[in-house]
Chains A and B, each alone.
Chain A
Protein backbone atom coordinates (compact mmCIF):
# COMPACT_ATOMS: atom_id res chain seq x y z
CA UNK A 1 0.00 0.00 0.00
CA UNK A 2 1.78 3.18 -1.11
CA UNK A 3 1.88 5.67 1.72
CA UNK A 4 1.71 9.34 1.06
CA UNK A 5 5.05 11.11 1.34
CA UNK A 6 4.44 14.06 3.62
CA UNK A 7 6.78 16.46 5.35
CA UNK A 8 7.20 15.49 8.98
CA UNK A 9 6.27 18.84 10.44
CA UNK A 10 3.66 20.12 12.80
CA UNK A 11 1.42 21.64 10.15
CA UNK A 12 1.14 18.39 8.25
CA UNK A 13 0.35 16.60 11.46
CA UNK A 14 -2.47 18.99 12.22
CA UNK A 15 -3.83 18.67 8.69
CA UNK A 16 -3.81 14.90 8.87
CA UNK A 17 -5.49 14.87 12.25
CA UNK A 18 -8.32 17.03 10.91
CA UNK A 19 -8.68 14.75 7.92
CA UNK A 20 -8.88 11.75 10.19
CA UNK A 21 -11.68 13.31 12.23
CA UNK A 22 -13.65 14.09 9.08
CA UNK A 23 -13.06 10.63 7.69
CA UNK A 24 -14.24 8.99 10.88
CA UNK A 25 -17.37 11.14 10.99
CA UNK A 26 -18.11 10.42 7.32
CA UNK A 27 -17.59 6.73 7.90
CA UNK A 28 -20.14 6.66 10.69
CA UNK A 29 -22.69 8.59 8.61
CA UNK A 30 -22.26 6.32 5.62
CA UNK A 31 -22.56 3.24 7.77
CA UNK A 32 -25.85 4.52 9.12
CA UNK A 33 -27.03 5.29 5.61
CA UNK A 34 -26.08 1.83 4.44
CA UNK A 35 -27.90 0.16 7.32
CA UNK A 36 -31.06 2.21 6.86
CA UNK A 37 -31.10 1.63 3.10
CA UNK A 38 -30.78 -2.09 3.69
CA UNK A 39 -33.65 -2.09 6.15
CA UNK A 40 -35.98 -0.29 3.75
CA UNK A 41 -34.77 -2.46 0.88
CA UNK A 42 -35.70 -5.67 2.67
CA UNK A 43 -39.25 -4.48 3.27
CA UNK A 44 -39.54 -3.32 -0.31
CA UNK A 45 -38.31 -6.56 -1.73
CA UNK A 46 -40.70 -8.69 0.29
CA UNK A 47 -43.53 -6.54 -1.03
CA UNK A 48 -42.17 -6.94 -4.55
CA UNK A 49 -42.12 -10.71 -4.34
CA UNK A 50 -45.77 -10.70 -3.29
CA UNK A 51 -46.74 -8.34 -6.09
CA UNK A 52 -44.91 -10.41 -8.64
CA UNK A 53 -46.57 -13.65 -7.58
CA UNK A 54 -49.95 -11.95 -7.66
CA UNK A 55 -49.27 -10.56 -11.11
CA UNK A 56 -48.11 -13.90 -12.45
CA UNK A 57 -51.28 -15.57 -11.21
CA UNK A 58 -53.57 -12.98 -12.76
CA UNK A 59 -51.65 -12.95 -16.01
CA UNK A 60 -51.79 -16.70 -16.28
CA UNK A 61 -55.58 -16.58 -15.95
CA UNK A 62 -55.77 -13.86 -18.58
CA UNK A 63 -53.55 -15.80 -20.94
CA UNK A 64 -55.69 -18.89 -20.57
CA UNK A 65 -58.75 -16.88 -21.56
CA UNK A 66 -56.87 -15.48 -24.50
CA UNK A 67 -55.80 -18.92 -25.68
CA UNK A 68 -59.41 -20.01 -25.47
CA UNK A 69 -60.61 -16.99 -27.43
CA UNK A 70 -58.06 -17.54 -30.16
CA UNK A 71 -58.93 -21.20 -30.39
CA UNK A 72 -62.63 -20.46 -30.72
CA UNK A 73 -62.45 -17.47 -33.02
CA UNK A 74 -59.26 -18.13 -34.88
CA UNK A 75 -56.05 -16.17 -34.27
CA UNK A 76 -56.49 -13.97 -37.35
CA UNK A 77 -59.87 -12.73 -36.24
CA UNK A 78 -58.52 -11.93 -32.80
CA UNK A 79 -55.52 -10.12 -34.23
CA UNK A 80 -57.56 -8.00 -36.59
CA UNK A 81 -60.08 -7.19 -33.87
CA UNK A 82 -57.29 -6.00 -31.63
CA UNK A 83 -55.34 -4.16 -34.29
CA UNK A 84 -57.82 -1.30 -34.28
CA UNK A 85 -57.09 -0.59 -30.64
CA UNK A 86 -55.25 2.65 -30.08
CA UNK A 87 -51.72 2.53 -28.79
CA UNK A 88 -51.90 5.71 -26.82
CA UNK A 89 -52.02 4.59 -23.22
CA UNK A 90 -50.02 6.82 -20.95
CA UNK A 91 -49.09 6.61 -17.32
CA UNK A 92 -48.27 9.44 -14.99
CA UNK A 93 -44.65 9.54 -13.96
CA UNK A 94 -43.97 11.05 -10.60
CA UNK A 95 -40.78 11.05 -8.60
CA UNK A 96 -39.98 9.79 -5.15
CA UNK A 97 -36.89 10.35 -3.06
CA UNK A 98 -35.88 7.65 -0.61
CA UNK A 99 -32.75 8.61 1.27
CA UNK A 100 -31.32 10.43 -1.71
CA UNK A 101 -32.32 7.68 -4.15
CA UNK A 102 -34.64 9.14 -6.76
CA UNK A 103 -37.13 6.67 -8.19
CA UNK A 104 -40.07 7.06 -10.58
CA UNK A 105 -43.63 6.46 -9.41
CA UNK A 106 -46.04 5.28 -12.07
CA UNK A 107 -49.75 5.84 -11.72
CA UNK A 108 -52.79 5.52 -13.92
CA UNK A 109 -54.77 8.47 -15.06
CA UNK A 110 -58.31 7.85 -13.91
CA UNK A 111 -60.15 8.73 -17.08
CA UNK A 112 -57.95 6.94 -19.57
CA UNK A 113 -57.94 3.48 -18.06
CA UNK A 114 -59.92 0.72 -19.64
CA UNK A 115 -62.97 0.29 -17.52
CA UNK A 116 -64.54 -3.07 -17.29
CA UNK A 117 -66.98 -3.46 -20.13
CA UNK A 118 -65.49 -0.69 -22.23
CA UNK A 119 -63.79 -2.42 -25.13
CA UNK A 120 -62.11 -0.93 -28.18
CA UNK A 121 -63.71 -3.15 -30.80
CA UNK A 122 -67.19 -3.96 -32.00
CA UNK A 123 -68.95 -6.30 -29.61
CA UNK A 124 -70.79 -8.27 -32.25
CA UNK A 125 -67.84 -9.48 -34.25
CA UNK A 126 -66.06 -11.24 -31.41
CA UNK A 127 -66.93 -13.96 -28.99
CA UNK A 128 -67.42 -13.55 -25.28
CA UNK A 129 -64.11 -15.24 -24.55
CA UNK A 130 -62.15 -12.35 -26.00
CA UNK A 131 -64.10 -9.90 -23.89
CA UNK A 132 -63.37 -12.05 -20.89
CA UNK A 133 -59.67 -12.16 -21.74
CA UNK A 134 -59.46 -8.41 -22.16
CA UNK A 135 -61.33 -7.88 -18.91
CA UNK A 136 -58.80 -10.08 -17.14
CA UNK A 137 -55.99 -8.08 -18.64
CA UNK A 138 -57.59 -4.87 -17.48
CA UNK A 139 -57.58 -6.40 -14.02
CA UNK A 140 -53.85 -7.22 -14.18
CA UNK A 141 -52.93 -3.83 -15.45
CA UNK A 142 -52.94 -1.84 -12.19
CA UNK A 143 -50.89 -4.60 -10.57
CA UNK A 144 -48.41 -4.41 -13.44
CA UNK A 145 -48.01 -0.70 -12.99
CA UNK A 146 -47.58 -1.04 -9.25
CA UNK A 147 -44.99 -3.74 -9.86
CA UNK A 148 -43.15 -1.49 -12.28
CA UNK A 149 -42.84 1.22 -9.65
CA UNK A 150 -41.79 -1.21 -6.94
CA UNK A 151 -39.25 -3.13 -9.00
CA UNK A 152 -37.61 -0.03 -10.38
CA UNK A 153 -37.31 1.32 -6.86
CA UNK A 154 -35.75 -1.92 -5.66
CA UNK A 155 -33.33 -1.87 -8.57
CA UNK A 156 -32.18 1.67 -7.85
CA UNK A 157 -31.91 1.08 -4.12
CA UNK A 158 -29.83 -2.03 -4.67
CA UNK A 159 -27.37 0.00 -6.73
CA UNK A 160 -27.19 2.71 -4.09
CA UNK A 161 -26.62 0.16 -1.34
CA UNK A 162 -23.71 -1.28 -3.28
CA UNK A 163 -22.24 2.13 -3.90
CA UNK A 164 -22.57 3.13 -0.25
CA UNK A 165 -21.12 -0.13 0.94
CA UNK A 166 -18.08 0.32 -1.29
CA UNK A 167 -17.51 3.78 0.13
CA UNK A 168 -17.83 2.55 3.71
CA UNK A 169 -15.31 -0.19 3.02
CA UNK A 170 -12.86 2.09 1.29
CA UNK A 171 -12.98 4.48 4.21
CA UNK A 172 -12.68 1.76 6.78
CA UNK A 173 -9.97 -0.35 5.17
CA UNK A 174 -7.96 2.10 3.09
CA UNK A 175 -8.26 5.76 3.92
CA UNK A 176 -8.51 5.70 7.70
CA UNK A 177 -5.67 3.18 8.23
CA UNK A 178 -3.49 5.23 5.87
CA UNK A 179 -4.16 8.39 7.82
CA UNK A 180 -3.48 6.68 11.12
CA UNK A 181 -0.22 5.30 9.77
CA UNK A 182 0.92 8.67 8.41
CA UNK A 183 0.11 10.35 11.70
CA UNK A 184 2.10 7.73 13.56
CA UNK A 185 5.07 8.18 11.24
CA UNK A 186 5.12 11.93 11.56
CA UNK A 187 4.78 11.76 15.33
CA UNK A 188 7.71 9.34 15.54
CA UNK A 189 9.82 11.50 13.25
CA UNK A 190 9.06 14.54 15.28
CA UNK A 191 9.93 12.73 18.50
CA UNK A 192 13.24 11.78 16.92
CA UNK A 193 13.92 15.35 15.98
CA UNK A 194 13.02 16.44 19.47
CA UNK A 195 15.40 13.90 20.95
CA UNK A 196 18.15 14.98 18.58
CA UNK A 197 17.50 18.55 19.61
CA UNK A 198 17.65 17.67 23.28
CA UNK A 199 20.95 15.85 22.81
CA UNK A 200 22.40 18.80 20.94
CA UNK A 201 21.25 21.20 23.62
CA UNK A 202 22.75 18.98 26.32
CA UNK A 203 26.05 18.88 24.43
CA UNK A 204 26.09 22.62 23.95
CA UNK A 205 25.27 23.10 27.59
CA UNK A 206 28.14 20.79 28.57
CA UNK A 207 30.47 22.75 26.31
CA UNK A 208 29.41 26.04 27.88
CA UNK A 209 29.88 24.61 31.36
CA UNK A 210 33.35 23.33 30.36
CA UNK A 211 34.31 26.69 28.95
CA UNK A 212 33.06 28.42 32.07
CA UNK A 213 35.09 26.01 34.21
CA UNK A 214 38.23 26.62 32.11
CA UNK A 215 37.81 30.34 32.49
CA UNK A 216 37.48 29.99 36.25
CA UNK A 217 40.61 27.83 36.42
CA UNK A 218 42.55 30.28 34.29
CA UNK A 219 41.53 33.20 36.48
CA UNK A 220 42.30 31.28 39.66
CA UNK A 221 45.75 30.33 38.26
CA UNK A 222 46.66 33.88 37.26
CA UNK A 223 45.78 35.28 40.65
Chain B
Protein backbone atom coordinates (compact mmCIF):
# COMPACT_ATOMS: atom_id res chain seq x y z
CA UNK B 1 0.00 0.00 0.00
CA UNK B 2 1.38 3.38 -0.90
CA UNK B 3 0.31 6.98 -0.88
CA UNK B 4 -0.58 9.05 -3.90
CA UNK B 5 0.60 12.63 -4.20
CA UNK B 6 0.00 15.57 -6.52
CA UNK B 7 2.31 18.53 -7.04
CA UNK B 8 1.51 21.53 -9.18
CA UNK B 9 -0.16 24.88 -9.41
CA UNK B 10 -3.15 25.32 -7.14
CA UNK B 11 -5.74 25.82 -9.87
CA UNK B 12 -4.94 22.52 -11.51
CA UNK B 13 -4.72 20.25 -8.52
CA UNK B 14 -7.07 21.55 -5.85
CA UNK B 15 -9.80 19.10 -6.85
CA UNK B 16 -7.64 16.06 -6.19
CA UNK B 17 -7.90 16.68 -2.51
CA UNK B 18 -11.45 15.43 -2.66
CA UNK B 19 -10.10 12.09 -3.83
CA UNK B 20 -7.91 11.80 -0.79
CA UNK B 21 -4.56 12.40 -2.47
CA UNK B 22 -1.75 14.26 -0.81
CA UNK B 23 -2.03 17.59 -2.57
CA UNK B 24 0.86 20.05 -2.42
CA UNK B 25 0.35 23.28 -4.35
CA UNK B 26 3.55 25.01 -5.45
CA UNK B 27 4.40 28.18 -7.33
CA UNK B 28 8.06 27.89 -8.29
CA UNK B 29 10.35 25.21 -9.63
CA UNK B 30 12.26 25.31 -6.38
CA UNK B 31 9.13 24.61 -4.35
CA UNK B 32 8.27 21.80 -6.72
CA UNK B 33 11.67 20.17 -6.17
CA UNK B 34 11.33 20.47 -2.42
CA UNK B 35 7.83 19.01 -2.42
CA UNK B 36 8.89 16.19 -4.73
CA UNK B 37 11.91 15.23 -2.68
CA UNK B 38 9.82 15.25 0.45
CA UNK B 39 7.19 12.97 -1.07
CA UNK B 40 9.87 10.60 -2.31
CA UNK B 41 11.40 10.50 1.16
CA UNK B 42 7.95 9.73 2.57
CA UNK B 43 7.79 6.65 0.33
CA UNK B 44 5.01 7.83 -1.93
CA UNK B 45 3.99 5.25 -4.51
CA UNK B 46 2.63 7.47 -7.25
CA UNK B 47 3.30 11.18 -7.66
CA UNK B 48 1.47 13.24 -10.24
CA UNK B 49 3.17 16.41 -11.38
CA UNK B 50 1.81 19.15 -13.61
CA UNK B 51 3.70 19.48 -16.85
CA UNK B 52 5.04 23.04 -16.49
CA UNK B 53 7.23 21.88 -13.62
CA UNK B 54 8.62 18.88 -15.48
CA UNK B 55 11.81 20.60 -16.58
CA UNK B 56 12.61 21.86 -13.10
CA UNK B 57 12.67 18.33 -11.76
CA UNK B 58 13.86 16.37 -14.79
CA UNK B 59 17.01 15.18 -13.04
CA UNK B 60 15.01 13.85 -10.09
CA UNK B 61 12.72 12.08 -12.54
CA UNK B 62 15.71 10.46 -14.23
CA UNK B 63 17.01 9.20 -10.89
CA UNK B 64 13.64 7.81 -9.95
CA UNK B 65 13.30 6.03 -13.30
CA UNK B 66 15.94 3.56 -12.20
CA UNK B 67 13.96 2.51 -9.13
CA UNK B 68 10.71 0.66 -8.65
CA UNK B 69 9.00 3.37 -6.64
CA UNK B 70 7.80 6.03 -6.89
CA UNK B 71 6.22 6.46 -10.29
CA UNK B 72 6.26 10.11 -11.33
CA UNK B 73 3.58 10.85 -13.90
CA UNK B 74 3.10 14.15 -15.71
CA UNK B 75 -0.41 15.54 -15.96
CA UNK B 76 -1.55 18.59 -17.89
CA UNK B 77 -2.09 21.79 -15.98
CA UNK B 78 -5.29 23.75 -16.21
CA UNK B 79 -3.65 26.80 -17.69
CA UNK B 80 -0.92 25.94 -20.15
CA UNK B 81 -1.13 23.44 -22.94
CA UNK B 82 2.06 21.50 -23.24
CA UNK B 83 2.69 18.01 -24.45
CA UNK B 84 5.68 17.32 -22.26
CA UNK B 85 4.16 14.05 -21.07
CA UNK B 86 3.74 12.68 -24.57
CA UNK B 87 7.11 14.10 -25.63
CA UNK B 88 8.90 12.23 -22.90
CA UNK B 89 7.20 9.06 -24.04
CA UNK B 90 8.26 9.71 -27.61
CA UNK B 91 11.80 10.38 -26.53
CA UNK B 92 12.12 7.18 -24.59
CA UNK B 93 10.67 5.25 -27.53
CA UNK B 94 13.16 6.85 -29.90
CA UNK B 95 16.05 6.04 -27.59
CA UNK B 96 14.99 2.46 -27.16
CA UNK B 97 14.04 1.62 -30.73
CA UNK B 98 15.50 4.33 -32.91
CA UNK B 99 12.07 4.92 -34.41
CA UNK B 100 9.36 7.47 -33.84
CA UNK B 101 6.24 5.34 -33.77
CA UNK B 102 4.02 7.80 -31.95
CA UNK B 103 4.16 10.48 -34.60
CA UNK B 104 0.84 9.49 -36.07
CA UNK B 105 -0.92 9.51 -32.74
CA UNK B 106 0.28 12.97 -31.89
CA UNK B 107 -0.95 14.38 -35.14
CA UNK B 108 -4.42 13.15 -34.30
CA UNK B 109 -4.42 14.77 -30.91
CA UNK B 110 -7.69 16.65 -30.26
CA UNK B 111 -7.38 20.42 -30.15
CA UNK B 112 -7.38 21.93 -26.70
CA UNK B 113 -9.17 25.01 -25.46
CA UNK B 114 -6.27 27.37 -26.19
CA UNK B 115 -5.60 26.23 -29.71
**Which residues of A approach B to under 8 Å, CB–CB?**
38, 41-42, 45-46, 48-50, 52-53, 55-57, 59-60, 62-64, 66-67, 70, 78-79, 82-83, 85-93, 95, 102-104, 106, 109, 112, 114, 119-121, 133-134, 137-138, 141, 144-145, 147-149, 151-152, 154-159, 161-162
* Closest CB in chain B relative to A113 CB, distance in Å: 8
Q: How many residue pairs between the two chains, A and B, have CB atoms under 8 Å in the bound complex?
A: 151
Q: Show 5 A/B contacts (Cβ-Cβ < 8 Å), sorted by A.
A: A60-B113, A91-B4, A134-B18, A161-B96, A162-B95
Q: Which residues of A contact B46 (CB under 8 A)?
A: 91, 106, 145, 148
Having A79-B14, A154-B92, one finds 14 other A-B pairs with CB under 8 Å, namely A48-B89, A50-B105, A52-B89, A53-B86, A56-B76, A60-B113, A63-B12, A70-B11, A95-B68, A137-B18, A137-B19, A148-B48, A151-B89, A156-B68
**Is the beta-carbon distance between A137 and B15 smaller than 8 angstroms?**
yes
Interface size on B, residues (CB 8 A): 43
- Tell me the dominant secondary structure on chain B's binding face: mixed
Question: Which residues of chain B come closer than 8 Å to A104, judged between CB atoms?
Answer: 45, 68-69, 71
A112 neighbours in B (Cβ, 8 Å):
20
Q: Do A45 and B101 touch across chains, with their CB atoms under 8 A apart? A: yes
Contacts of B3 in A (CB 8 A): 88-90
Residues of chain B from 1 to 53 with CB closer than 8 A to chain A in the complex? 1-4, 11-12, 14-23, 45-46, 48
Chain B residue with Cβ nearest A57: B110
Are B15 and A82 neighbours in the complex by a CB distance under 8 Å?
Answer: yes
- B4 lies within 8 A of A89 (CB): yes
A222 to B69, CA, bound (A): 103
Roughly how many angstroms separate A66 CA and B113 CA in the complex, as a whole number? 15
| One of B45, B71, B96, B109 near A162 (C-beta < 8 A) | B96
